[in-house]
Structure 1
């Protein structure tokens, strides 16, 4: 019993260190994309529908950080959006609009959550239900397979299991997306981007193998095939687009903090820009940055 306790204690410390390192890498990526290191951008056209997009990560009852906010802060955001007549839209609605088979509300907003943390189910979903909102949650397959089964459901550090994801799917408010199976790292390869000396053929095979693995698990566990892909750390390369198209992805999410303008052209959904929801600013401050009628 003592050995098992020591194992779980070590596993928790390792996981918490990983999360802290992970968040630091995301911050570095956002700073890079702010400097213009981005290949794909949503159409910047006066004829498009303005679509502000928020990027959340962890929602937990702990001191707020760059990538963790409290449930109270999330509720403040959702209440603000509701009071200012914004309507959360789903990826399906965006796709239908670009294909000319649907319309968007007067003031649409897209809410996204990255990494697939358990608190997205336990703490965020009830608030989305309270304010009649929907959202996208992009999960990392290896987190669900490796970390989630060994860790108890904890609002601070646990990841979603496949059973948890089924609950999200059943809620009717969540669209699950891909965040790669096991490319959510920043070592020799930066996220899922092509390495400098890697041939296009080798890169195509590596990315296709990773993404198709997660698509297969989605099919086997949930009987779905996600059409939304979020780039790990916001690292984007043009060579990835062919693989994403081959696997049926219709929307890609970046970390570039710029406005989006959605047109009747499906191509505008590749390279959706997102504003990271920092934990060190108020709802009013973040909304002034991202909402067109608040600037």
Structure 2
């Protein structure tokens, strides 16, 4: 009776805990079950692995209901992972920009008047503007709203692969007669910054919008209205505090009263501001402010803060399109592993360190019969990308002997390591790969130097090797003491690495600049690695994508590669055997 009472208490606790979960976590868990698909084949259907995963998850839920002790433990574990991930997406203290957002390059384009014939240098003709929109569409660029950009800058959340923000200053009639209809045609969002004295007819000269036109535009979800002050002073920094209060606060009040909407953004006239001016913007209750620098095109992610978001002049559109990048194109958090994603190359710079990351696909290893360039090894397989793998013997140039035990699916042969090397590798990361999962566990020379010992850890193992060092374990960067006696582990070198992202997708990569292992671990954790290990680095560091080497030097030939194959290739067969 007492046992039943305890089980009931645990069941109710589990139910209550689920009820207390934030909706996004519950919704995401549910959507993960609903979205299990095959390896991106043309006909969308559940693959055998997906069906197995679905059945396993349903069985797990069933077991939770009948064994609430196990369910509660599993849920707490899951919540622990979710909490770690959620912590990485908590907005930075306003108005700072999130470190992960610094990975992106989102241009904010600045336009002024759009009219049939240019009157001044920064005007754009109707034909030119139409060509700009066509170029944006043809280049696969996605215009986003200012709200989306601010969310990205605050939390580091990824945007569409090639985003852009379009802004139009000063409230010209062409914004209503030309720009607004074209935006509706293309379904592109945009920001219109207006100064109120012009709309009210107190400042005459160039053409102007009317309140009725602006009210119509403001009702459309594609349109964001921003304050551009009351009178458009040439330099706000020259104004007194009383004058700043009138320009910044009063313009917001007028726009909100006339348009019946909240005005969240301010645009500095001629881009001029200082700490005192931005302090008034903050006091007024704006969430962000746009600026600009003459003859400079600066990506929004490089801005000083949300109160000084930089922009591109309209003449810089081609550069903006060529360089735009919305951050790592990976889904957020996911249970287990995802070996069905498109293989994508990202080049990012974090804290001054350029990293090249290739994500997606299915991970495999290739143990060659000698030492070759990674490019040559990858070329003889259906792999899309590859990085140099395990440490190897330098005794003979044509030897494929590696340090520690190795098992690769291309040879289907387990090769044990020698005892001398194995003892030095104790507690280094033993990497175990199967068709649907990857494990990183501490290497034990006594248990892991036979195929039987390897299969005891992962019965369906297809690949195994010992990496150089753990960099990230369960989202946490590893401290200096964890590297043990690894030779010069914190000396600046080009570094190679691979692991599993929080999305469940594999990532291989290299540092494009010399870096110590501890700093690299911190950067990879910041990027969102769930687990990561270092591979052979220094002179061996090599990364290949679609047949091209991505390093600027000729690396040392190697006998072993960690590669990514496309989901379609992986669905056809376990692996295409390399021939040499």
TM-score by length of 2: 0.36
User: Which position in structure 2 is the counterpart of 1:75?
Assistant: 130
In the alignment, which of 240, 247, 253 is matched to residue 216 of structure 1? 253
In the alignment, which of 272, 276, 294 is matched to residue 235 of structure 1? 272
Contiguous gaps of at least 5 residues in structure 1: 1-39, 152-156, 196-202, 279-285
Q: Distance in 1 between matches of 2:245 and 2:273?
A: 15
Select between 223-232 and 101-110 the one with higher mean Cα deviation: 101-110
Aligned 8 A contact 1:58 1:68 in 2:
yes
User: Which position in structure 1 is the counterpart of 2:554?
Assistant: none
Aligned 8 A contact 1:141 1:180 in 2:
yes
User: Which position in structure 1 is the counterpart of 2:225?
Assistant: 176
Q: Structure 1 107/79 Cα, relative in aligned 2: closer, same or farther at 3 Å?
A: same
In the alignment, which of 178, 190, 207 is matched to residue 135 of structure 1? 190
The 5 Å alignment of 1:208-287 reads 208-256=245-293, 257-262=296-301, 268-278=305-315, 286-287=316-317
Select between 92-101 and 127-136 the one with higher mean Cα deviation: 92-101
The alignment status of 1:92 with 2:147, answered yes or no, reads: yes
Q: Structure 1 181/289 Cα, relative in aligned 2: closer, same or farther at 3 Å?
A: same
- 1:277 shift after superposition: 2.0
User: 1 or 2, which has the higher helix percentage?
Assistant: 1
Q: Structure 1 147/71 Cα, relative in aligned 2: closer, same or farther at 3 Å?
A: farther
RMSD after superposition:
3.0
Aligned 8 A contact 2:268 2:289 in 1:
yes
Q: Distance in 1 between matches of 2:224 and 2:124?
A: 21
In the alignment, which of 230, 233, 238 is matched to residue 194 of structure 1? 238
Q: Distance in 1 between matches of 2:189 and 2:202?
A: 26
* C-alpha distance after superposition, 1:36-76 (max 9, x if no partner): xxxx9988988432111211011111236312111111111
Aligned 8 A contact 2:99 2:156 in 1:
no
Partner of 1:112: helix, strand, or coil? strand
Aligned 8 A contact 1:42 1:260 in 2:
no
Partner of 1:269: helix, strand, or coil? coil
Q: Structure 1 125/204 Cα, relative in aligned 2: closer, same or farther at 3 Å?
A: same
Higher relative contact order (CA 8 A, sep 6+): 1
User: Which position in structure 2 is the counterpart of 1:113?
Assistant: 168
Q: Structure 1 288/98 Cα, relative in aligned 2: closer, same or farther at 3 Å?
A: closer
Q: Distance in 2 between matches of 1:105 and 1:291?
A: 13
The 5 Å alignment of 1:138-157 reads 138-147=193-202, 157=206
Specify the structure having the higher radius of gyration (Cα). 2
User: Which position in structure 1 is the counterpart of 2:104?
Assistant: 49
Aligned 8 A contact 2:101 2:155 in 1:
no
- 1:81 shift after superposition: 0.9
Q: Distance in 2 between matches of 1:44 and 1:65?
A: 39
Q: Structure 1 110/246 Cα, relative in aligned 2: closer, same or farther at 3 Å?
A: same
- 1:134 shift after superposition: 0.9
* C-alpha distance after superposition, 1:139-183 (max 9, x if no partner): 0110011258x99xxxxx42111111111112221100011012x
Aligned 8 A contact 1:115 1:138 in 2:
yes
Q: Structure 1 147/70 Cα, relative in aligned 2: closer, same or farther at 3 Å?
A: farther
User: 1 or 2, which has the higher strand percentage?
Assistant: 2
* C-alpha distance after superposition, 1:81-130 (max 9, x if no partner): 11111111112112223343965211110111110111101101111122
